[in-house]
Each structure stands twice: as C-alpha cells, then as structure tokens.
Amino acid sequence: MKITTVPGVRTVVGEGPVWDAQRQLLYFVDLLGDRVGRFDPSSGDVHTWPTPVHAAAVSPSQGVELVLTLADGFHRLDVVTGAISSLARVDLPPGAILSDAKVDRSGRLVAVSSDESFVRPIGNLHSLENGVVRTTDTGHTIGNGPCWSKNGRTFYVSDSVKSTIYAYECAPETGVLGSRRVFATTTELGGMPDGATVDADDHVWVVIHGAGVIARFAPDGSLQATVTMPTKHITSLTIGGPNFDTLYVTSLQPAAIRARVADGGPDESGAEVDGDSDGRLFVVTGLGVRGVPEPVVRLSID
C-alpha cells in the first residue's frame, strides 16, 4: 500500500470526493472554504470554482454541467463560466444545512441534512427527482456518507454524532426506503463515521473521523479490515482511477475551522496551518480492491 497527496490541494473541510469515470476526473468540495475542486490525475491540474454558500457535495451530470449540493439546496455549476444557478431549494428547519449527498443507482440525487450545532435530530434525507424534492426519512443529527449496494437495494447512511451507520432496504425503481436498522457502530474504532462508498465486492468503506482510519465492512456489518491514514482528520473517500483501484481520501484542518468560526475568515497570524497532513487530498494505491462506477445525476427520470 502507498499513500501520497495531491500537490496544490489544501482544504479547510474537504468533503464529497467523486470519480467521474467518463472524463477521468476527480471532483471534491471544500465545505467551509466555499469552493468546488477538480483534479485531473493525467496532467496533475487542479481547478476550483467558488460557491456562494457552503458546499456539501458535487455530482457529475449527463451533460457538461456539475450538480452541486450546497447548504441550502441543489444547484447547477457551469464549468466553463463558473456560473451557479438553482435547481431546487430544500425546505430545512432553522439551524439545519445539507451536509452530504450522492447519486443512487437510478440517477436520483439524495442528500442528508444536519443540525449546525451538532445537537438536535433535525436532519432529514432529501431526494431530488424530476425537479421535485421529497423527504424520505427524518431524525438525523449529523448526516453523512450516503451510499448504495451494487444492486441499489440497500442504502447506507451514518449519523456521525451517534457513531452509527444505518442501513435501509431500498427500491431502486422508486427510491422508496424501508425501515432503518443499525448496520455497524464505530465507537470501538475510536471515532465517528463520515464519508462512505461501496466496492466491487459489495463491502462498505467508511472514513472514521477522529481515529484516522478507514474501515471496510462486509454486507452483514462485520468489520473486515482497516487502513491507517497519516491524519486523524480524514472526512470522506471514493474509489476511482482508470482501473477503479485508487482510493481518494479528503481531510480537514481543525485550526482553519476554528479561525473561520471565531473571525469569519482565515487567521492572518498563521493559525490556519495544522499538521502537514491535515486538509490534504490523499491518494491510496496498492490496496488490492476495486470500486464501481458512481452513477451520474439524471435530472429527469422516466
């Protein structure tokens, strides 16, 4: 196994990495840095676009645009001009924001919301289909890591503050969810679940934030393996690359977050700089596993 970093990428809160198999590009967001990033592994080029509010996730679409999940709803990003336009607002209670999102196996964009104070269970699941947003579940405090089994019939999502990963039965044709059950807990791993993805063997990979490890769970919820990362502040992950054998992992900088919370912007004294590994975009190779292509957003579903 080999772990490297992408030169030129240092995020405040890196999140939502997703591999665009058609274009062979990696996209990610900097949630508190209010920007979307694109990394081209073939050239090493990194490009970013600013966002008007916090960015939770980015998703490739069938066209040339990207679909953004921002704190307040779903939006389009024109990658040529950088213009952002609203697709659909999400009805959120006061103090709630959209915190993560991913595309299901049928092309729906599903987001989870969270309480900004990390205390109240006011986060919900929101599905965008044919321009309409519907709520599919309620009661999350810090929603993270939505992903699906290969056949789309099991949906996974975490409530980070509860150190719990949940699973639902899911109907791919309609996106309707069954009852929620506990899939796994992460307390014994020393941290809380964050971003997640599913590999070609239908195992679930979950970032354990605060512990600096990535956990691989079998479909029955049993822990199969862990990968130790250079920082405990990892946030999310995806499997990509031409052969779907490269793990991309985002991370955050705690001091940079404190500076923005306290002062509303970067700390001029230099307190924004954490350990050298914090805020980096990691590239992990040699794991011996493969991922599966992530679906693109279908804004109209028959």
Contact 105, 151 (CB under 8 A): yes
Which residues contact residue 222 at a Cβ distance below 8 angstroms, ignoring those fewer than 6 apart? none
280 assigned to some structural domain = yes
Report pLDDT for 263: 54
Query: Does 297 fall in a domain?
Result: no
Say how many C-beta atoms besides its own lie within 10 A of residue 101's C-beta: 30
DSSP letters spanning 244-272: T-EEEEEEB-HHHHHHHHHHSS--TTTTT
Give the H or E element holding residue 109. strand 109-115
The pTM score is 0.94
Residue (of 236, 231, 186) closest to 31 by Cα position:
236
Counted domains in the chain:
1
96 occurs within a structural domain: yes
Residue 274's CB is within 10 A of a number of other CB atoms, namely 19
Find all residues with CB under 8 Å of 80, minimum gap 6, and list them.
64
Residue 284 confidence (pLDDT): 98
pLDDT tens by residue, the chain, 302 residues = 999 999 999 999 999 999 999 999 999 999 999 999 999 999 999 999 999 999 999 999 987 789 999 999 999 999 999 999 999 999 999 999 999 999 999 999 999 999 999 999 999 999 999 889 999 999 999 999 999 999 999 999 999 999 999 999 999 999 999 999 999 999 999 999 999 999 999 999 999 999 999 999 999 999 999 999 999 999 999 999 999 999 999 999 998 888 776 554 443 333 345 679 999 999 999 999 999 999 999 887 66
Give the pLDDT confidence score for residue 258 in this predicted structure.
80
Q: What pLDDT is attached to residue 266?
A: 43
Report if residue 299 sits inside a domain. Answer: no
β-strand pairing of 164-170 with 177-185: antiparallel
Distance of CA 84 to the CA centre of its chain: 20
| CATH label of the domain that carries residue 274 | 2.120.10.30
- What is the Cβ-side half-sphere exposure of residue 72, based on CA atoms within 13 angstroms? 8
Residue 237 is encoded by which pair of tokens? 């992950």
In a domain, 200, yes or no: yes
Question: Checking DSSP bridges between strand 204-209 and strand 213-217, what pairing results, if any?
Answer: antiparallel
- Closest by CA to 160, choosing from 213, 97, 114, is 114
The residue range of the domain holding 167 is 2-285
Place of tokens 């980096």: 280
Number of DSSP helices (H) and strands (E) in the chain, helices first: 1, 24
State residue 8's pLDDT score.
94
The predicted pLDDT at position 261 comes to: 65
- HSE-CB for 42 with a 13 A CA cutoff: 4
Taking only Cα atoms into account, the Rg of the chain, rounded to an integer number of angstroms, comes to 17
Q: Is residue 13 part of a domain?
A: yes
Residue 81, domain member (yes or no): yes
Residue 301 included in any domain: no
